[in-house]
Amino acid sequence: PMSIHRPQVGEDLGARMANAIDVAFTEGAQTVIVVGSDIPGISTRIIRNAFNQLENNSKTDLVIGPAEDGGYYAIGLSIRVHNKIGKLFEGIEWGTERVFQQQMTAAEKLGITQTMVLTKLNDVDTEVDLPHVEKHLNITKSDILQPYWSIVIPILNESKSLESSIRHLVKNADSPERLEIIIVDGRSNDNPTEIIERLK
């Protein structure tokens, strides 16, 4: 599928979402779903279900995925409510536990009463939310807080200094076990493979 990247426009989260959805509808989309980027439990099944409801149920003009903290992680809309987008996200106290309920109330006031609520999920705002990442992505807290480093070394007939360079990097790394060194050889004829194999 094609990926298009655009800058966000708007003073707050609501304005940025409204602008993004409006652009998508203006360019021909019939359904639009906005999804948060910090939702480890999100799945293709949830996204597919949201699209199916909007596309195949003429009575569903809005779908929303509530978050455990009172906000929401996804909102989807049908082209049928395009003219209401400008007002839909106004008056929401973003970043509070009232966001989901306020969004539902705003939709109802605009006459968007046919809504579908998706599975409730957790988002990741602080370190206390990291267990949700561990659960859904099968990685540990230490993996998240202590990232791996990849260092790429391009070489061409530099075997004389290659070994000392690699040893220096490993010696000075805070966590050598999290260091990955990638050697990119430009067809050297001084046999760097022998050095690399010896240091593995």
CB-based contacts of 37: which residues, under 8 Å, 6+ apart?
A: none
Structure tokens at 157: 């007939």
Query: Is residue 25 within 8 Å of 79, Cβ to Cβ?
Result: yes
Q: What is the mean pLDDT of each run of 10 residues along the chain (200 residues)?
A: 80 94 95 92 93 91 94 95 95 94 96 88 84 81 74 92 92 85 92 90
| Separation between Cα atoms, residue 162 and residue 196, nearest integer Å | 9
pTM, rounded to two decimals: 0.69
For position 194, what pLDDT does the model report?
A: 92
